[in-house]
Amino acid sequence: MPLDYPDSFRELVRQFRRLPGIGPRSAERIALWVLRSRDAKPEQLVSAISWAHEKLTMCRLCGFFAEQEECPLCLDEGRSGRELCVVESPTDILPLERTGVFRGRYHSLGGKLSPLDGIGPEQLRIAELIERIGEERPSEVILALGVDVEGEATSHYLAEMLAPTGVHVTRIAQGLPAGGGVEHADQITLHRALANRGVYGQR
Amino acid sequence: MPLDYPDSFRELVRQFRRLPGIGPRSAERIALWVLRSRDAKPEQLVSAISWAHEKLTMCRLCGFFAEQEECPLCLDEGRSGRELCVVESPTDILPLERTGVFRGRYHSLGGKLSPLDGIGPEQLRIAELIERIGEERPSEVILALGVDVEGEATSHYLAEMLAPTGVHVTRIAQGLPAGGGVEHADQITLHRALANRGVYGQR
C-alpha cells in the first residue's frame, strides 16, 4: 500500500477542501498550519463556529445577519421605506451601505437562480420580497444583482415577477469600473458602457 | 454608529482570516457558506479539527504525521537508511515519495530559517537531524528544500552544520521545470539550468 497521510490528517484536509475557494494545496497548507503553528489556536476557530451557529440568524424581513429576529437596518426607523434594494447575498449589503448614497431598505434573496445547482425561485426569498412590496409599498425596487449569467437571469425573472405589483423596478448601472482602462475591459462591459453612455457632466 | 456585522459574524470572519492564504473577501465568503449552505455541515469541520488535535502527532524521528510515536515510514524496515532526505515540511514528503525514485528515509525540519518570523535554528529540527546522522550513519544527506531565499539560507546553514559529521551532503537539482519553456523562465532559473547542464542522454 502506498504511503498516505494518517486518517485524521486526511479528514482535516478534506474538511478544509469543502470550504468555498479552497483547493487541495491550500487545504493541506491550512491543515498543517492548524496543527503546527504556535498561534493557530484552532479552539478559537471551533468556538467561533459554534458561537455563530448559536447566536446568528438571518433577519426575518431583509435577510441580513441578525442576532435577534430583526436586524439593526430593519429596526432603524430613520431609514426610508420608499426604496427597496434587492441583493443576492447578505454580504452585498455592507459594501452598498458604505457608499453612503442609499438610505432605503434592503432585501437579500439569499442567492441567485442557478438551476444546475438546484436553486430555483423557491430556494430564494422571492415570495418574501413580493409580500414585503405588498405590505411596505415602496415606490422603487432597485435590483443590485451581479452581472454574471445567473445574476442577469435572476434580475430578468424578478422584473417579470414584480411587473404585476406595479412598482417601479430599476437596476444599478453597468459600465467601466473605477480604475479600469478601456484597453483591459471585456467586450460585454464595453458594449454596455457604450450603450449606457450619458451626457458628460450629468452622469 | 455605522452599520456593521453582528459580533458573532465578525468573529467568525476574523477566525477564517487567520488561516494562511485567506484574505478578507474569502473569509467572508467562507463564513457565509458555513452559516448558510445546506451542505456546509460545520460540525464536521469542528470535529475534524478536534480529532486531528487528539490523534495526530509528529513522528519522533522524521517529523512526518503520525498517529503513534513513529510514522509508517520510520517503522518500515524495508527502507534504506543509507540516504536521508531533508525537507522543510511534512507535506513535502508525499510528493517526493510519489516519484517512486527514493526509497531512503526522510527528515522534516518543520520549517525553514526565517529570522523576520522569529524562526532560527533552534525552532527547526536541526539538532534532531544531527543526532540522527550520528546514530543512523547515512552515507548521503540529500537537501530537498525550496529555492526561495529562506530555503537557500537553510540549505547553506545545514551544509555548514553537517560538514563536521563527514556525511556526503547533496541537494536536489535546480533547473527548468517540466512543461516550462525557456521563454517564460526567470533569469535565476535559466542561470542555474545552464550552470547545471549535463551531457545529453546522461542527465
pLDDT tens profile A128-167:
999 999 999 999 999 999 888 999 999 999 999 999 999 9
CA distances from B32 to B5, B29, B37, B42 (A): 12, 5, 8, 11
Q: For residues A105 and A57, is the Cβ–Cβ distance under 8 A?
A: no
3-state secondary structure of B171: strand
Q: What is the distance between the alpha carbons of residues B164 and B82, in angstroms, rounded to a whole number?
A: 18
* DSSP one-letter code for B177: P
Find cell 494518517 and name the residue: A6
Contacts of A89 in chain B (CB under 8 A): 32
Contacts of B54 in chain A (CB under 8 A): 8
Residue type, A30: I
Whether A91 and B32 lie within 8 Å, measured CB to CB: yes
Q: Which helix (H) or strand (E) holds A125?
A: none
Beta carbons within 10 angstroms of residue B57's beta carbon: 17
Name B87's bridge partners.
Answer: B108
pLDDT of res. A1: 57
Please give chain A's pLDDT, 203 residues, in tens.
Answer: 567 888 899 999 999 999 999 999 899 999 988 887 767 788 888 889 888 888 888 999 999 999 889 998 999 998 988 999 999 999 889 888 888 888 899 999 999 999 998 999 999 999 999 999 999 999 999 999 988 899 999 999 999 999 999 999 998 888 888 777 777 778 888 888 787 777 776 65
Q: For residues B8 and A55, is the Cβ–Cβ distance under 8 A?
A: yes
pLDDT of res. A13: 93
Beta carbons within 10 angstroms of residue B25's beta carbon: 11
State the nearest Cα–Cα gap between B170 and chain A, in angstroms.
Answer: 25
Q: What angle do CA A89, A90, A91 make, to 5 degrees?
A: 90
Whether B31 and A51 lie within 8 Å, measured CB to CB: no
Q: What is the distance between the alpha carbons of residues A172 and B131, in angstroms, rounded to a whole number?
A: 67
How would you class A36 by CB atoms within 10 Å of its CB: exposed for 0-12, middle for 13-18, buried for 19 or more?
middle
pLDDT of res. A109: 96
pLDDT of res. A201: 66
Q: What angle do CA B128, A5, B72 make, to 5 degrees?
A: 55
Q: What is the distance between the alpha carbons of residues B116 and A81, in angstroms, rounded to a whole number?
A: 54
Q: Name the residue in chain B with its Cα closest to that of A23.
A: B21
pLDDT of res. B59: 93
Beta carbons within 10 angstroms of residue B95's beta carbon: 10
pLDDT of res. A127: 96
Q: For residues A79 and A73, is the Cβ–Cβ distance under 8 A?
A: yes
The C-alpha torsion from A8 through A14 and A16 to A18, rounded to 10°, is -150
Q: Which fold has domain B79-195?
A: Dna Topoisomerase Vi A Subunit; Chain: A, domain 2 (3.40.1360)
> pTM for the complete prediction?
0.71
Contacts of B15 in chain A (CB under 8 A): 44-45, 48-49
Whether A49 and B34 lie within 8 Å, measured CB to CB: yes
Q: For residues A41 and B11, is the Cβ–Cβ distance under 8 A?
A: no
Q: Which residues in chain B come in under a pLDDT of 50?
A: none
Contacts of B42 in chain A (CB under 8 A): 49, 53
